[in-house]
Structures are given as structure tokens and as C-alpha cells.
Amino acid sequence: MVAFAAVLRSESPPKDRGRELVEDVCTYCHNLDRLRGKELSREEWRGLTKGMISEGAPVTDEEFSMILDYLAKNYGKRETQ
């Protein structure tokens, strides 16, 4: 099961508004390679994203929520079995 999960993680997550926002907003300052291999909890993503916003990432509260949902779903901590 772990090997299968690793294969799934190597594929690009599906396109949605959250992904579009991550691609548009986050690439103002850095490329998206920083996401590879990340497995942060929702709260860790919240803190990291808030830090980016405090540095000037231009997002609304609604966009922040969509970005956080996307990151937590696609780059969140995985359960190990």
C-alpha cells in the first residue's frame, strides 16, 4: 500500500481553483518545486501560508482558504499503515 501511495504522490494533483491560486500566487516569489516531498499538517500549511501573506503574497481571505484546502489535501501528512 505504501508503494502505491508513493506513486499517487508523484502524479500532479488535479486542476482546481486552489491549484490555480497556488500556481499564480506562490510563483511570484518561488517555483513550485518547493512543494515536492512536503507533507505538512493543515496547521503547518496555515502557518507557512500566513507567513507568505505577511511577506506580501496578494490573496483574499477566500483565496487563502482555497489555497490552504488545496495544500492540505494534496501535500498534507499521509497516514502510514
Indicate if the pLDDT at residue 5 is higher than 60. Answer: no
2-29: average pLDDT: 71
Q: Is the dihedral of CA 29, 67, 3, 81 positive or negative?
A: positive
DSSP annotation of 28 reads G
pTM value surpassing 0.85: no
Handedness of CA 51, 52, 58, 64 (dihedral sign): negative
Cβ-proximal residues to 30 (8 Å cutoff; 6+ apart), any chain: none
For residue 49, pLDDT over 50 is answered with: yes
Q: Report helix angle 17-25 to 61-75, nearest 10.
A: 100
Mean of all residue pLDDT scores within the chain: 84
